[in-house]
Copies of this chain bind each other. A is one copy, B any other.
Amino acid sequence: MSQSAENPAKTPADQSATLDHNIALMLLASFQSQGALRAWDARLTAMAPGSAEISLPYSDKVSQQHGYFHGGVIGTLADVAGGYAANTLLMPVSECLTAEYKINIVAPGIGDTLIARGKVLKAGKTLVVAQAEVFAVQAGVEKLCAIMQQTLFVIDKK
């Protein structure tokens, strides 16, 4: 319950607004600097104030034993989507680290593409609470495969 002091100028997940161009560039640069995401060919495919979308093509590098997307990959994408959703509200002054998250895997990750969409539910001065949904896409049809709820910790931008 630390989110009593909210940032009054910023609304969680205001998707009608457009993200400042310089902040978008900072987010992309941050994303590209993560070796784990580069190794998977993950991409930051959409950003708006309070929300972010990450996409990932299927490959052997992200698979489990039945040829589906690995549960850990699904969890990672959800975590990253929530984190970048928060960063859209925090940068350039601050950024966030994951304090914790909880994810339910509700269907196997079967498909050619995995998409995670994160949004901020509550933006406090010290903690941000975000949510993400992960979809497996097969031949253009999205199917919900995971739901995540997350707490992020705000730090000064290095």
Interface residues of A (CB under 8 A from B): 1-4, 30, 33-39, 59-66, 70-73, 75-77, 79-80, 97-108, 121-122, 124, 126-127, 129, 131, 144, 147, 149, 151, 153, 155, 158
State how many angstroms separate the Cβ of A1 from the closest Cβ of chain B: 4
* Contacts known (A99-B2, A103-B100, A126-B153); A39 close to B65, Cβ less than 8 A: no
Residues of A contacting B: mostly: mixed
Given contacts A34-B64, A72-B36, contact A102 B99 (CB under 8 A): no
Chain B residues with Cβ under 8 A from A3's Cβ? 106-107
Copies of this chain present in the complex amount to 4
Cα-based distance from A155 to B83 in the complex (angstroms):
24
Q: Is the Cβ of B2 less than 8 Å from the Cβ of A73?
A: no
* Inter-chain contact A1/B105, CB cutoff 8 Å: yes
